[in-house]
Structure 1
Amino acid sequence: MDCQPGHGRLVYKWLNNNQQCLLCDEHADQSYPLCSACEAELPWLDERCLCCALPLPINGMLCGQCARRAPPFNQVEVPFHYGFPLDSLISRFKHQARWPLGRLLGHLLGQWLLARFDDGLPRPDLLLPVPMGRKRLRQRGFNQAAMLARWLGPQLGLAVDEHMLLRPHETLAQQDLDARQRQRNLLQAFTLVPRARVQGRHLALVDDVMTTGATARALAQLLLRAGAARVDVYCLARTPKPGAA
């Protein structure tokens, strides 16, 4: 496996022997470049909202927002909360084009999802990466959600469609806005390609981090209005509620 799908010459080869851990540089005693000790120390998300995966003090509950009003998506599946060192790994993947780190994180997400499918989570018909605006795509050079989806597809045995969802209107960067501003910022930000095959299908959105969930809500509403039967969300990490520990 390589960490640069569809981009010609390989810059990194995912070997199954003599690998070093990408976190501590020690020998990786696994088939991917992460040692068991570092994997155990990652910020695994245990107690969470049953629907949106917001970190909670105890497990098996809905958060206040989901209890008051069910979101348009059915389930958020995420293995980690957005804490050290995962926050640094995601940032280096997104903003410094450290693709090996993104490839590793995508593999861990895939392992998580395979275990959840074994536990009875319904498998989707299609993976849809969250689209990026043209201006931001030119600036960054790649869409990290699309790369994650490309890596997840073969691992999960699922098809990926990078072109069904469009973001024709440039919006402000979501990380610079509060929850209410994020929702306003995304009004009419997304659309579907003409004649998109959505009717009756179970679709899963792929992204790197969920913060307020505004992007996932906007896209899920769009897909449900077009006739989707179910929309789930797969991402690497979930942030806590602002002000929470």
Structure 2
Amino acid sequence: MTERVNGALDGCRIWVTRPRAQARALCDLIHGAAGVAVEFPLTEIVAAPDPGTARAILAQVAQFDLCIFISRNAVLYALELRPELAQATGECRIFAVGAATAGALSGGGINAGTGPGPAHGAADLLTLPQLQAEAVRGRSILVVRGLGGEALLREELERRGASVQYAEVYQRRRPDLDHDYVMRLWQQTPPDVIVLTSAGGVRTLLEMTPAGQHILLLRTALVVISDRVCTTARRAGFTGAILVAAGASDLILFQTLLNWRSNK
């Protein structure tokens, strides 16, 4: 792969909007292809404001029939709260939204099922036989997630007859980026393409962009991780090319960037 991508992104300015702690791997891939990776975090991940409540719920995980981890962050913060989680799940069946989430669980000694599609997202997970109405009706399900996350899983599982409870183990907040720093980025390294990994990030990106740069921003190409993010961007006024990646992993996002560049 190295020979094939060497120089493939030559000089291309790519803004990566993931939290800093999660942006390095993708930035390294971009640099390796001679691109210019700019870290522009639209959110940062921190512990939930009430860890005691989440810790108490996780202590009861074995009492649930199923447990679903929403993200890699959900796994990492849950393991911080309950390091012995792998030994405490009992007969509870564990599921993960996304391959990265399943990988984090595996690293913590927990095996998990994922959805059948290439993105392994929440919609894929909901197609599993183990999560259909006849399988979950009357069952108790714990969803481990961030504070104020999307309600898709809960709403659909409750519609199918399950009882759903949250363990909210982390929260997102906007990083404190200096206005002058943002202005310098737009003046010195304006983006050719922006990687966006959440629908909420669309609004944050617009709010953090100086007013004089909004027209340029809305014309900038985007690489996004789902149709939902794409739709949100279009509704917000983005008119440039938007490529929907087949998943949220670094390699998939990188391949999508290569495809965008090769077709430009």
* TM-score scaled by length of structure 2: 0.30
Whose helix fraction is larger, Structure 1's or Structure 2's? 2
Q: Which structure dedicates a bigger proportion of its chain to strand?
A: 2
